Structure 1
Amino acid sequence: MTTTVLVAGATGDLGGRIVRALRTHDTRVLVLTRGTGSSTSAAGRLAAEQGVDVVTADYTDHGALTSALAGVDVVVSAVSGTRTVIVDAQRALLAAAVDAGVARFVPSDYAADYRSITPGTNRNFELRREFAATLDAAPIRATSVLNGAFTDMLTGQAPLVLFDRQRVLYWSSADQVLDFTTKDDVARTTAHVALDPAAPRVVEVVGDRVTARGIADTMSQLTGTPFRLQWAGTAGTLSAMARVGRRLSRAGDDESFPAWQGMQYFVSMFSGEAALHHVANDRYGDQDWTTVRDVLAAHLAA
């Protein structure tokens, strides 16, 4: 029987990949849009390209949102933002899903293990933990996908590999194991989870596990130029710097990814607190996982 999946946040980078992954299965895919701004035209393009249906409802309109979810089997959230999105909008989406009789909900987690981090060390993880408490109390079956950091960020968005300076940064230890998974691999896993009624509360996957030392070795091999490790301080010092940056930020907590938030992500990774401990890469059979080396090699070739 065809499964009906509604994707919220489908016009975003990861959300679009999830839609494409779902379309490789026997699914009917609905894309939720608020019907305003650029998201409407983006949803229209996605509908034309992928053959999905577009439904319109504002997150503040519970009745319209509930109607939009009528007949949906699984809600997959891929929304991105700060508190107004991760907590408030997802709570509205969850309430509508419950009232519409949706069986399952996949929240917008797609991160490292936010459940074990020290309070105050990672804002975005704490928002996910706050929403998870609401989700766990709701009468709906939920599954979170945890995948470490996105490998794609190593090509520039996350300043770990300094390509022009032939350096790889690290905090505390160059041998701390770091979890990475590409967005496409996360999207593929999310599609499997959406179609798996027996999926547990959390599914952990990791495309590759590396250290800063290993990344430096890989870059040296790929480029033929020695990439050296550069110690940038301890994770504790970086956490203190992030706290100062957060207090001094003009935008406060309204900015989605300020510099201090990037620092917090590195704290969570290099402290080891957010490491995944129950990885189940084989849950959906043999899969081709993209490695850190694959991503870096493709970036250099481009």
Structure 2
Amino acid sequence: MSVTIGIAGITGKFARELTSILLKNPHVAIKGYCRDPSKVPQSFTSKVSLVKGDAYDEPAIRSFVAGCDVVVCCYLGDPKLMEDGQKLLIDACAAEGVPRYVASDWSIDYTKLKLGQLFPKDPMIRVKAYLDAQDKVKGVHILVGMFIDGFFGAHFNVYDAATTTFKYWGTGDEIWEGTTYRNAAEYTAAICLDKDAVGILKLVGGQSTFNEIVALFERVYGVKPKVDRQGSLDDLFKLMNEKREKDPKNIFSYLFLFFQYYMIEGTTDIGPELDNDRYPQVKPVSWEDYLRMVPKDQLPTAITKVGQNV
């Protein structure tokens, strides 16, 4: 039986990975939605039915979702897009009889947070509540932790490639839950084909402490990195809030500090019980697996290559 899967924001990193995986299945038809079809990889264009439109073009959105068995939102942007844009997609799914909607989550367990704690996740909290109130569309929320590909990037400020230094807050024994983009896309593809998959699904590639990740780095690359403790978790909490209060418009001065805090503070942990066993055809990619796949000199820029080789 064929399945039609709609992918909103099909030109993005995650969407490209997801699309390339789904296209390997001869029983899957894909509809893509984007503002600029010229940005869709050529390898997709002959195999994907594209609808052009922006996130607020209601007629185009209705046309896009029509006939889909499930719609996956791969939007990534400002709070208005992540909330209002998704609500328009959900409303269109309800109007067109699409039974399932995969929200743009792929995150830590934000369902345990209150509004305002980790502010970039506020739209997700509101969208989940919006889906929970629906009677025609079932929401699907995929929790994967952080994207491992981004952990070693300069923007995250944990790994300094120039000096081979790892920087951390806390004790170093806090668990980092992470999944690669590709692995998360593999799980998402399996969920799209599983018509009974609704609600929250917890699918994590690897769970390792900071100290374990450092030890894995040394084991895999044969290089002993330097380690720099920045302070306690209380120090991190104080610093990130001080930076936000002092200069709220300079969001990148504190954004990743907030993410670091809530990733390791414990409240948003996804485990220990996971849903990985529900999809045995997908092999979890652990922190060690990732390091063995990526050459050391490519770690800082690996995230820029996500979705490029499709």
* TM-score normalised per structure 1: 0.90
Mean alpha-carbon deviation: is it higher for 70-79 or for 240-249?
A: 240-249
Deviation, structure 1 residue 249: 4.2
1:252-271 equivalences under 5 Å are 258-271=252-265
- Give the letter for the 1:261 counterpart: L
Aligned partner of 2:229 in structure 1 is 231
Q: State the shift of 1:248 in Å.
A: 4.2
After TM superposition, give the deviation of residue 23 of structure 1 in Å.
1.3
Where does residue 166 of structure 2 map in the other structure? 168
Query: Within 2, Cα distance between the matches of 1:16 and 1:64?
Result: 21
Measured after TM superposition, the shift of residue 119 of structure 1 is 4.2
Contact 2:205 2:285 in 1 (8 A): yes
Work out the CA distance in 2 between the residues paired with 1:196 and 1:126: 28
Q: Does the CA-based 8 Å contact 1:170-1:231 persist in structure 2?
A: yes
Distance across 1 between alignment mates of 2:72 and 2:295: 30
Pair 220,47 (structure 1): closer, same or farther in 2 beyond 3 Å: closer
Q: CA deviation at 1:223?
A: 3.4
Partner residue, 1:45: 42
Aligned residue in 1 for 2:112: 116
Secondary structure in 1 aligned to 2:201?
strand
More displaced 10-residue stretch of structure 1: 208-217 or 51-60: 51-60
Moved more, 224-233 or 258-267: 224-233
Whole-angstrom CA distance in 1 between matches of 2:34 and 2:108:
27
Q: Cα distance, 1:127 vs. partner?
A: 1.9
Corresponding position of 2:129 = 133
SS at match of 2:162: helix
Note the 1:62-73 alignment, pairs <5 A.
62-73=58-69
Whichever residue aligns with residue 113 of structure 1, its letter is D
Where does the alignment leave 5 or more consecutive residues of structure 2 unmatched?
Answer: 299-310
Q: What runs of 5+ residues in structure 1 fail to find an aligned partner? A: none
Identity score, percent: 24
SS in 1 for 2:5: strand
Q: 1:141 to 1:242 in 2, by over 3 A?
A: same
Instruction: Assess, with a 3 A threshold, how the Cα gap between structure 1 residues 97 and 200 changes in structure 2: closer, same or farther.
Output: closer
Conserved 8 A contact 1:172-1:235: yes
Read off the aligned partner of 2:224 and give its amino acid letter: P
Superposed displacement of residue 250, structure 1: 6.5
Deviation per residue, 1:244-269 (Å, 9 max, x gap): 333444646xx6xx241111110111
8 Å contact from structure 1 (residues 123, 261) kept in 2: no
The Cα RMSD (Å) is 2.0
Report what 2:23 is aligned to.
23
1:5 aligns with 2:1: no
The answer as to whether partners of 1:174 and 1:213 remain within 8 angstroms in 2 is yes
Deviation digits for residues 112-147 of structure 1 (CA, Å, limit 9, x no counterpart):
101113543311222211111111112211111100
- Aligned-partner Cα distance in 2 for 1:185–1:44: 20
The one-letter code of the counterpart of 2:20 is R
Between stretches 85-94 and 165-174, larger displacement belongs to 165-174
Look up the SS of the partner of 1:196 in the other structure: coil
- CA–CA separation in structure 1 for the residues paired with 2:235 and 2:123: 23
Partner residue, 2:84:
88
The one-letter code sitting in structure 1 at the alignment partner of 2:216 is T
2:50 is matched with 54
Contact 1:155 1:299 in 2 (8 A): no
